[in-house]
Structure 1
Amino acid sequence: MHANDTEEVLGSARPQTVPQPVKTFDAGILDGDEYGAISGFAQNGQEDPELGPASAVPLQRRRKVIIVGAGINGIQQATLLLKDGYVKHQDIQIFDALEGYGGVWQKNRYPGCACDVPAMIYTTSYHINKKWTHFYAKRPEIEAYYTGFAMQYELDRCTQFGSFVKWCTWDEDHMIWHVGVSNKRTGETEHWIADVVCQCVGSLDRPKWGNTPGREGFTGISWHTAHWRDDYDLTGKNVAIIGCGPSAAQLIPEIISKPKHLTVYMRTPPVCVGRGDFAYSSLFRWAIRWVPLFAWFIRQRMNLRMMRLGRAMATDGDPLNDQMTATAVKFMESQISDPELREKVRPYSKYYCKRPLRLDGFYPALARSNCTVLRENLIRYTEKGVLSSDRVTGTETERQYDVIIFGTGFNVAQFLEHEKVTGLNGIDLQEKWKAHPEALYGLATSQFPNMFYCFGPNSAHVWSSQQDNWERQARFAAQVVKESVLRARKGIKLAIHPKRDVERQYNDEVQRRQAGTFVWTRPDCVTYYKNDDGWNTYTMPWTWWQFRQMLRKIRWDEWEVIEKPMAKVEIDLD
């Protein structure tokens, strides 16, 4: 039972876990202008132009499908649509705010940026990369792989870079989406329309800065790891890094030799083990490229091993979870001899929330003479630096810095908060998701017809290839596009969106099946997987096979279906 009937449209179920002790995970939300600004779009303070009629949109800006994002998910979505053959390049338009393919790997260019998922798994199942040089891949190799993937399918024919999608509005009369796109080159906001919009921006797209006040008042140089500045030399500077998650932990060993002094503000110690990377032999690389199905076999073998071990490692109380935490502690102690520093960076018991970070050089970097690790409470940023307080005595200290680097991660507590998305009857997506985002299968939400997500809310897990999950979502959206094309040939316009009761039931199950099972649902486990109210916005409980079965076909009884004769929704030409 749900206590509030108004939840039928705007609300949702209550969180299944206890709120976190530290409230930072939904802090630092970006609105559209701020999101655009960090990607180089001008902020002129002007309102967006009023929405014109569909008939005023020129033919060259009318598409069957608009895809937002040219990263992993956008590439998968576009190539699957083309492989199905029901739409062509001229029917698809891809927009990306950046200037190249790769998404998160195009955006994150900080020193040391890499992936700690085995490279063979970090590929798309139908386009396996056969050119990996190492067991783990660094950013340039990953970006090159996805760029090559896109170019092999000639996606450059339907991609417009430097284009920030600012708003999407559903037109009930014509059964289309109106899409406003800010063009960096022209400075204009372009009006496009499409039958289907696929939101492929992912969850690790919107950087956050936490809720410590005063950031704007700092008069030195500052930036987020997601928007690295290659034009600034850290040599001889006093530098602070805020946060110590994966990005900061990869970065620190790469820059530690440059600053005069580096101060690391660490709230929660990361859980780390050795990277264990190695170069593939020439024989292995030859076999991957030339032996039929060998690459597929290797990928499947790795995936199956990840499925077998990953779920156990993430299960609270499982011996393998405890073993991995113990391994991480042993690794830390083998890298750091100073007793005081050991205690500062010792992982908390039961704070192991997924696989540990695989890093080389991190702990030795923290032990360098020009590095200080602080486990203090941040009070505010000042004109010259950071004011913090000792957690035991409460003593406040202001430290001055030339540079502050924010390694504070990404906001996954919300989704698409930088776009103005308006659905049926004028409902605003962020108003509906005010408490937390929800979507059926992480790919669509009620009241928003023909809008599909890849890597939407609760689309992640840690026990098989993420790309396989997102591929299932993309294949489902492609099924809807196929059905739409087939019905259009019969003179019928089609749009679908989830039934609210089905959507709610699914999301209740997503929360219920994780509560009390996986370590990240513990109230003492601080993780970006949950928002400040304890609602898990990031992971799902299903295995890859279960998720595949859920999305194998369109179960029409789960969806609201809107159909109109084409004659009634046709757009008049000026």
Structure 2
Amino acid sequence: MKQRSPTLGTESNLASFEGLPQGKSANQRYTVEQRAIDESRPMKVVIIGSGISGILSCIRLKQRIPNVDLCIYEKNADLGGTWFENRYPGCACDIPAHTYQASFEPNKEWSSFYAKAPEIHAYWKKVAQKYGCMDFIKFRRQVSEAVWDQGTFKWQLKVKNLQDSSMLTDDCDVLIQATGTLNNWRWPSIPGLHKFKGKLMHSASWDESYDYKQKIVAVIGNGSSGIQIVPAMLPDVPHIDHYIRSPTWISPPFAHGEIDKRDGTDNLHFSTEEINHFKADHASYQVFHVEQELQSVHGISLVDHPIQAQAQDAFVQNMKRRLAKKAELIDALMPAFPPACRRLTPGPGYLEALTDEKVDIITSEIVRVDETGIITADGQHRPIDLLVCATGFDTSFAPRIPVKGRGGMTLTERWKEMPETYLSIATDGFPNYFISLGPNAGLGEGNLLAVIEKSIDYFTACIQKMQRDNICAMSARPQAVKQFRNYCDDYFRNTVFNSNCRSWYKGGTENGRVTALWPGMVMLFCSSLHAMKALAHPRWEDFEYEYVSDNAVGWLGDGWTENEKRNAVNVDYLDDDQVDFPPICSPTLDRAGLRVRVQARSKLQCGEVTRQCMRPADVKQGFRCQMLFFTEKQSGDNAQKREKKRRKKETQSLDES
């Protein structure tokens, strides 16, 4: 029978470790496991989804988890997730492309400041191929159910082959949900919608075979996709009816400071000369990188903060300027709620498109759809050829499939009242189950990729701990989940996100709890900097554990290491990459015997004297500091010369005497 470890963090729990080893009985003999202390226990990990989170999870698991059996189930025919599925006209990333990439795989060849969906998809496919992910992905396979088996301490999976509708079963030690947040699109609840005999499409399920040119078009929705679709379709159609339920802030482009240095906001493409310059001069590329601008201003999301007022005034002036051709639209489009209550949408070209004579803005409520068009509350019937629903996704965070944890409870039931997690990556009652971009992981805007990478680092460290410590089940403590939920509630109380606006941040409600955003702010969005700090070092005391053996220290193995068993080198702890070298104080000798004179940028305390110091890495990379090198051989040659000179002088003295 496997033993659950004591919950860490209290005196009574810590006291339960007294008199180790622990087991079925303190007096019962324990049988040592025949395994080396550093022998990696085989682990099978299944990832659901091969979007960005799935690809990055695969890369890090391959890199950091030895003896891992890895499988990725993907329902689509190709990887990419959002960037494979969303193909509507104008689909693009609305944050700078140079922040929407893996930290270890910078792309200096983005064609545009805001990359289009096909280019983003191509980038991530290239990354997956380069780092060997393709061999692990099973396409057109949809996980239809996941059930935790407390008897085997494994997840039991049912998987549907979408090519022939056959079913298969699988199991795994660890299950990673990498399907993202906004992946379950839905039709709007409009009477008669499916009676429409023209072409009906959702932005998240675009039919690329349909030729919309010269068609009368209706676009419902002014969220992120709607504001991209309208200006993209406008040049090719005679008329667009744009239905807006509620106003929204159209902000200046994110990182617009860098754009303003160019010829104007319409000049968003990089020239061949610029791309070649980035490729040839990495330092220049780093200077161009817009992270600093995205991460540098605090306060816009805080109620009554001066920056909030300044931002609102700037947004008002921006929208008035861009709507000047149709000033009558300003009142209809200007929100009453403060900026950032809903996700800010920059929408290059959107406001300008609304002033075009071919576009009508309709704010009257849609009553129903008939076979030929849309009827609104003002009694108008507007005939159309194409009806585009840019109406978003299911924002409940509930997984699309039954995920059953301990006791058979589904995650949907667990989150019925509200979705809650521990640091957005795990929840109580669901062992060995990790979530990428779970509840309270969102940033609104900003560098979401950095947070995804840190989340993956976090649960990769959890899997490493399970291997190292011989753990068969690991789950967040209920108290830790509750405390994180309470922290989020209290944090958001004094932010603009609690204002009266309908937002997916609050599950599509006006006054609900904020369940989509990370609790920490910078500039226009929740802080990726704060989230990265929070996820940098796992707090093991916030988890509960169950062990493979009856002894919680069974991870000690049989007293051997793998190298000893293989008669391999046993002093690898002396290798440079294993030794933690402290900063070097100058003048001194580095470990290669080089005498170094350093003009460093900082001072450290070396003994009782404050000296100029540097890190060993700086010694190795001499271009970072001004240094003079004297090798031991040179020092020896100089000593020989000095000795020779001394003897010659002594001889001369003797001769003179």
Both structures adopt the same fold (TM-score exceeding 0.5): yes
Aligned ranges 1:249-268 → 2 under 5 Å: 249-268=227-246
Residues 414 and 356 (structure 1), Cα distance of their counterparts in 2 relative to 1, 3 Å cut: closer
Q: Which residue of 2 aligns with 1:521?
A: 498
Please list the CA deviations of residues 59-82 of structure 1 after superposition, one character each: whole Å capped at 9, or x if unmatched.
Answer: xxx971111111111111111111
Aligned ranges 1:124-143 → 2 under 5 Å: 124-143=102-121
Give the partner amino acid of 1:251.
I
Q: Which residue of 1 aligns with 2:293?
A: 305
2:321 maps to 1:334: yes
Q: Distance in 1 between the 2:217 and 2:197 partners?
A: 14
Return 363-372 or 96-105, whichever deviates more: 363-372
Q: Which residue of 2 aligns with 1:556?
A: 540
Aligned ranges 1:71-86 → 2 under 5 Å: 71-86=51-66
Q: Which residue of 2 aligns with 1:14?
A: none
Please list the CA deviations of residues 17-60 of structure 1 after superposition, one character each: whole Å capped at 9, or x if unmatched.
Answer: xxxxxxxxxxxxxxxxxxxxxxxxxxxxxxxxxxxxxxxxxxxx
Q: Distance in 2 between the 1:326 and 1:545 partners?
A: 26
2:374 to 374, 386, 392: 386
Once the two structures are TM-superposed, the CA of residue 84 in structure 1 deviates from its matched residue by 1.1
Give the partner amino acid of 1:137.
A
Q: Rg larger in 1 or in 2?
A: 2
Once the two structures are TM-superposed, the CA of residue 94 in structure 1 deviates from its matched residue by 1.0
SS for the counterpart of 1:313 is: coil
Q: Which residue of 1 aligns with 2:402?
A: 420
2:183 maps to 1:205: yes
Does structure 2 retain, via aligned residues, the 8 Å contact 1:69–1:201?
A: yes
SS for the counterpart of 1:446 is: coil
Does structure 1 retain, via aligned residues, the 8 Å contact 2:95–2:446?
A: no
2:346 maps to 1:358: yes
Once the two structures are TM-superposed, the CA of residue 292 in structure 1 deviates from its matched residue by 5.3
Give the partner amino acid of 2:531.
F
SS for the counterpart of 1:164 is: strand
Aligned ranges 1:393-408 → 2 under 5 Å: 395-408=378-391
Unaligned runs of 5+ in 2: 1-41, 254-264, 521-526, 552-657
SS for the counterpart of 1:308 is: coil
2:168 maps to 1:185: no
Residues 352 and 101 (structure 1), Cα distance of their counterparts in 2 relative to 1, 3 Å cut: same
Once the two structures are TM-superposed, the CA of residue 172 in structure 1 deviates from its matched residue by 0.9
Does structure 2 retain, via aligned residues, the 8 Å contact 1:351–1:525?
A: no
Aligned ranges 1:102-251 → 2 under 5 Å: 102-251=80-229
Q: Distance in 2 between the 1:415 and 1:350 partners?
A: 29
SS for the counterpart of 1:386 is: strand
Q: Which residue of 2 aligns with 1:440?
A: 422
Aligned ranges 1:563-574 → 2 under 5 Å: 563-565=547-549
Residues 273 and 510 (structure 1), Cα distance of their counterparts in 2 relative to 1, 3 Å cut: closer
Return 267-276 or 134-143, whichever deviates more: 267-276
Residues 262 and 107 (structure 1), Cα distance of their counterparts in 2 relative to 1, 3 Å cut: same
SS for the counterpart of 2:59 is: helix
State TM-score, norm by structure 1. Answer: 0.79
Once the two structures are TM-superposed, the CA of residue 462 in structure 1 deviates from its matched residue by 4.5
Does structure 2 retain, via aligned residues, the 8 Å contact 1:219–1:384?
A: yes
State TM-score, norm by structure 2. Answer: 0.70
Once the two structures are TM-superposed, the CA of residue 349 in structure 1 deviates from its matched residue by 4.8
Please list the CA deviations of residues 312-361 of structure 1 after superposition, one character each: whole Å capped at 9, or x if unmatched.
Answer: 23333333333333333333333332233333223435254367423333
Does structure 2 retain, via aligned residues, the 8 Å contact 1:314–1:355?
A: no
Q: Distance in 2 between the 1:284 and 1:404 partners?
A: 40
Q: Distance in 2 between the 1:265 and 1:388 partners?
A: 10
Does structure 1 retain, via aligned residues, the 8 Å contact 2:47–2:177?
A: yes
Does structure 2 retain, via aligned residues, the 8 Å contact 1:269–1:347?
A: yes
Q: Distance in 2 between the 1:285 and 1:441 partners?
A: 38
Q: How many residues align?
A: 489
Please list the CA deviations of residues 158-183 of structure 1 after superposition, one character each: whole Å capped at 9, or x if unmatched.
Answer: 00122222211111111111122222
Does structure 2 retain, via aligned residues, the 8 Å contact 1:415–1:456?
A: no
CA RMSD after TM alignment: 2.5
Q: Distance in 2 between the 1:134 and 1:258 partners?
A: 22
SS for the counterpart of 1:250 is: helix
Q: Distance in 1 between the 2:533 and 2:456 partners?
A: 14
Once the two structures are TM-superposed, the CA of residue 261 in structure 1 deviates from its matched residue by 2.9
Residues 165 and 274 (structure 1), Cα distance of their counterparts in 2 relative to 1, 3 Å cut: same
Q: Distance in 2 between the 1:314 and 1:286 partners?
A: 38
Return 311-320 or 160-169, whichever deviates more: 311-320
Does structure 2 retain, via aligned residues, the 8 Å contact 1:271–1:325?
A: no
SS for the counterpart of 1:460 is: coil
Once the two structures are TM-superposed, the CA of residue 294 in structure 1 deviates from its matched residue by 5.8
Please list the CA deviations of residues 519-572 of structure 1 after superposition, one character each: whole Å capped at 9, or x if unmatched.
Answer: 2221x22222112361212101234444334333332221121223399xxxxx
Q: Distance in 1 between the 2:533 and 2:234 partners?
A: 48
Once the two structures are TM-superposed, the CA of residue 208 in structure 1 deviates from its matched residue by 2.7
Unaligned runs of 5+ in 1: 1-61, 390-394, 568-574
